[in-house]
Each structure stands twice: as C-alpha cells, then as structure tokens.
Amino acid sequence: MLDVRFGAGKGWFFGAVRSGTVGYDAGFDLCEGCAVPDPEDFLTDWQRRVERQTAQTTELSRRMRDVRASASAAGGEVEVTVDHAGGLAGLELTERALRLSPDELSRTILEASRRAQSRLASRMNDLVTEIYGDGSETAGFIGEAYAEQFPQPPEDDDAPPER
C-alpha cells in the first residue's frame, strides 16, 4: 500500500512503502485550482519509462556487439575490418601490399583502419538513432562519442566505395 501526500509550493510527494519511505521532487509547482496529478498514474508512467529505457539499452548493447565495419586503403592493397569498439577484427593484404616497403605498408594499414573506424562511427550513429529516435539525447551522446573517437578521415578521391 502506498500512502502519498502532496505539499504546497514546489511539488513533491512523499510515499510510505512497506519497507520504508521514499521522497521525490517532481519539479512542478502546485497552485490553488490546479489539478493534482494522480500518484498512481505518475508511478505507473515512471515504471513504463524505466522499462522502455531498460529494453532499449539491452537491445542497443546486444546489437552493438555485432557491428563491424570494413574499408580498403586508397590503392586497394589492404582491407581492414574493425569490431564494435574500433579494434582490429580482420586484415587482408593483397600481393601488391606485400611489395610495399614496411613504412608504406604500415601507413596503408593505418589509412584503411581509420576509414573503417569512421564507417563504424557512422553505423553506430545510425543504430542508436534507430533505437532511440532522431533527436534523442541518448542517441546524440553515443553518436557524438563515436564520431569524436573515430573522426572522418580527410577526403580522398581514390577512396574505394563503402562496405
């Protein structure tokens, strides 16, 4: 059983629950003649929001683990695949790559890796927007975090198509 009392001025309610008491500042002003929200409706709505947020977060976590992105270097000598965290998950070298100097090969691998990570950031942004909705603070926060971590590499006219 929940015993709810509302106070005057800044809105708050105080509920006594079997195991103890709970206080909450609802952040709204009560005024004379204003409708007082039904505490049961408020708690039911709050519980629905928490359940929806939990389901969305669980779904996001599950789907993020499966996201990968691949990209090739401009000359096509190297293809890199990165996992959901931007870590190397795959590396393919062509015969042409094996004829490069060690310095050229390392630069080519890093170029392809940066392209793949940038594509990963774009895919993660699409995923969080799909789950949380366009304009969501959560989607914006996660999308921006990936974009900052894995920025768009400089434009290259010789870049192979996105995969």
Domain boundaries, the chain: 1-30, 64-149
**Local confidence band at 37 (pLDDT 50, 70, 90 cut-offs):** confident
Pairing mode, strands 69-72 and 20-29:
unpaired
Eight-state DSSP code of residue 153: P
Task: Find residue 82's DSSP bridge partners.
Answer: 69, 88
* Cβ(161)–Cβ(73) below 8 Å: no
Q: In this prediction, what percent of the chain has a pLDDT beyond 70?
A: 72
Q: Is 40 helix (H, G, I), strand (E, B) or coil?
A: helix
Name the residue type at position 149. Q
Residue-by-residue DSSP string for 93-119:
E-HHHHTS-HHHHHHHHHHHHHHHHHH
Which is more confidently placed, 39 or 19? 39
Q: Is 68 helix (H, G, I), strand (E, B) or coil?
A: coil
Which is more confidently placed, 163 or 51? 51
How much is the pLDDT for 162?
54
> Dihedral (C-alpha) 97, 98, 99, 104: value to the nearest 10 degrees?
60
Instruction: Pick one of 3.30.1310.10, 3.30.499.10, 3.40.50.2000, 3.40.50.620 as the CATH number of 64-149.
Output: 3.30.1310.10
How much is the pLDDT for 13?
42
Which long-range CB contacts under 8 A does 44-52 form with residues at least 24 apart? none
- Asked if pLDDT for residue 113 goes beyond 60, the answer is yes
End-to-end CA distance of the chain: 57
- Asked if pLDDT for residue 16 goes beyond 90, the answer is no
